[in-house]
Amino acid sequence: MKISESKVIYNKKIGPGYHVLGFEAGWLEETEPGQFVMISTNRLEMPLRRPFTVYRLNEKKAEILYRVVGKGTMLFSQLEEGDMINVMGPLGKGFPVFEDKTVVLLSRGVGIASLGLLGERLKKTGCRVFTVASFSDRTRSLVDDYIKSFSDELITTFDEDGSSDVENIRFILDKIKPDVVYTCGSRRLIRLLQKLPYEAYVSLEERMGCGLGACLTCAVRTINGYKRACKDGPCFNVKEVIV
Amino acid sequence: MNLSVEIAGLKLKNPVMNASGTFGLSEYADFLDLNLLGAVVAKSVTLNPREGNPPPRIVETTCGAINSVGIQNEGAEDFVKNKAPAMKKFDTVFIASIAGLTVDEYAKVTDILERAENIHAYEVNVSCPNIEAGGKAFGMYERSTYEVVRAVRDRTKKPVIVKLSPNVTDIVAVAKAAVEGGADALTVANTYLAMAVDIETGRPILGNVLGGFSGPAIKPITLRMVYQVVNAVDIPVIASGGISCGRDALEYLLVGAKAVQVGLMNFSRPDIMLCIIDEIKTFMERKGIKDINDYIGSLKI
Ligand SMILES: Cc1cc2nc3c(=O)[nH]c(=O)nc-3n(C[C@H](O)[C@H](O)[C@H](O)COP(=O)(O)OP(=O)(O)OC[C@H]3O[C@@H](n4cnc5c(N)ncnc54)[C@H](O)[C@@H]3O)c2cc1C
Ligand SMILES: Cc1cc2nc3c(=O)[nH]c(=O)nc-3n(C[C@H](O)[C@H](O)[C@H](O)COP(=O)(O)O)c2cc1C
Ligand code: FES
């Protein structure tokens, strides 16, 4: 893990308020699926770094897929090729990776960003990868060629036609009968998975200070007391977390 | 060039240390050599383990952040057994931070910490809620500040540094109460009681509703308090509040702080304390200052 000035290679808008930021990051090569980086705003008015999961690693570059939700992400959305960003990572504990299993990547919205690297890795370890991605409507679908490249089967669901309904997701999962489910982006989906018999893991989001395990501001509630999202997580077994 | 300063008999290599709760010995070792710091201050510990406040525990606001960790810690025994020994391999002044919810708890924590071999001094965090007086922080009143300091003072020969709360009507009065209680030095100051709300959800952002505000935004207010306290007491003052660069540190030294603590800014820049030390050196070179002690308190009014 280290801190580095990295050059922005591209910052593509891929949907309403959604961007993919690619930056030079040979030093992130060893990043495990589900691990994250923290990017500095370089502004005293925004003194905390912003956490983002590494979406994809390609050659010597890393990508994050992010949604503009506030001041920091607004600032990042204006980055251009050649700009320098200050990146700290890789951080945290990622997802466990299994071999030769039937797995579901179950995402909600931009939560799919936390499952990209994972899907690619699971495909390599011989898993059958079902991607079940839910979005509010079709204009907000974040399914791209990368997601397609590792998905043996891809199911997109939407609020606009009711297909993203929790009962429908349960139906889809029960048809696939996965060995392992990985999820990110929705508390409703976590609660659903807590009720189902499948082994399941989640990448949690919590507001963070240091990102290094020192400040104890990123507490998440688990059956074993508070854990640090940045160090003990962000990836947890869904049976462990209390949401 | 001399950067070393002396505080209550402790010789610091330079006037820069971390603020309690914003730094971890193992977590930050990747980014800086602890031997290069003036001192290292540990996270506050209580008698028993505390699980801390419900999340979210931190929220950024313009030029700062509000936190409500709630002194999550494993307790004083654990600190002595499992945390303090990690500092043994460093040749840097090591300061433990004492917290409690009753005067008696401060006393008991001190007794336990006295068993550690390598603690050089104590910082007494009087910003904890006094549960015997409705949960208001000890440091908000002269009397409870005095009582807590006295309790620690009576149990140790090591230097006692009292970290004042800024949430007071008259910082000088509380500073004097700490001196009377037997303080060898003061840290000015802890975080400012604050809150943040979300107009979309109509709810507070912090799980604890209220939290402590720190970061660059608070610097002018804490600078004012350091200035007032330095001019009112005869013991050394350590400044803590909003330091983000060498210039901020130098401002505090100029008004008379003997040393400075860096808190929130360690998060975004884990090596920031080393940069601050370098910037102080560069400034001294540029101004031809041979001894930092000649600069400390040299404010002309
Ligand atoms: C481990 C982890 C991985 C993440 N990965 C992604 C990702 O791949 N793509 C993506 O779009 N988003 C991701 N997020 C959420 C992302 O960090 C926030 O959307 C972002 O910090 C918002 O910053 P802002 O300045 O635009 O928002 P503001 O609301 O202005 O931010 C104010 C403060 O709150 C914090 N904050 C606000 N929302 C969140 C949140 N949901 N989680 C944590 N902190 C928050 C900010 O970091 C900042 O400190 C992740 C969060 C975590 C904890
Ligand atoms: C996340 C966080 C945790 C803190 N924990 C403690 C603590 O345990 N004990 C203490 O005395 N002060 C604590 N503080 C206060 C800092 O030590 C420091 O005095 C204050 O933040 C002001 O400095 P700053 O503006 O540089 O952050 C904490 C501050 C932060 C941001
Ligand atoms: S963000 Fe500091 S411990 Fe997790």
| A229-240: pLDDT as tens digits | 999 999 999 999
Domain boundaries, chain B: 5-52+71-192+213-295
- For B21, the closest chain A residue by CA position comes to A215
- Report the sign of the C-alpha dihedral through residues A76, A82, A83, A85, in that order: positive
Q: What per-residue confidence (pLDDT) applies to B30? A: 86
pLDDT tens-digit readout, A124-159:
999 999 999 999 999 999 999 999 999 999 999 999
Average pLDDT of chain A is 96
The answer to whether the beta carbons of residues A191 and A243 sit under 8 Å apart is yes
Confidence of residue B129 (pLDDT cuts 50, 70, 90): confident
Pocket flag, ligand 2, residue A215 (CB < 6 Å):
yes
Query: Is B241 touching ligand 2 by the criterion CB < 6 Å?
Result: yes
CA end-to-end span of chain A: 30
**Distant-in-sequence contacts of A229-233, Cβ < 8 A, 24+ apart:** A229/A92, A229/A204, A229/A205, A230/A51, A230/A91, A230/A92, A231/A91, A231/A92, A231/A93, A232/A93, A233/A92, A233/A93, A233/A203, A233/A204
For ligand 3, is residue A90 a contact (CB within 6 Å)? no
pLDDT in tens, B60-76: 999 999 999 999 999 99
Nearest to A183 by CA among A134, A124, A232, A150: A134
Determine if residue B8 is left, alpha or beta; phi over 0 gives left, psi from -120 to 50 gives alpha, anything else beta.
Answer: left
CB B244 within 8 A of CB A44: yes
A126 within 8 A of A99, measured Cβ to Cβ: yes
Residue A44 reports pLDDT greater than 90: yes
Of residues A109 and B29, more confidence is placed in A109
Q: Which amino acid is at A51?
A: P
Strands A84-91 and A2-15: antiparallel
Catalytic site includes residue B128: yes
Residue among B31, B72, B215 minimizing CB distance to A216? B72
- Kindly report the pTM of this predicted structure: 0.97
Q: What is the pLDDT of residue B134?
A: 81
pLDDT for B201-232, tens place per residue?
Answer: 999 999 999 999 999 999 999 999 999 999 99
Distance B39 CA to ligand 1 centre (A): 33
Q: Which CATH superfamily is domain B5-52+71-192+213-295 in?
A: Aldolase class I (3.20.20.70)
- Distance from the Cα of residue B148 to its chain's centroid: 16
Whether residue A226 lies within 8 A of chain B, CB to CB, comes out as yes
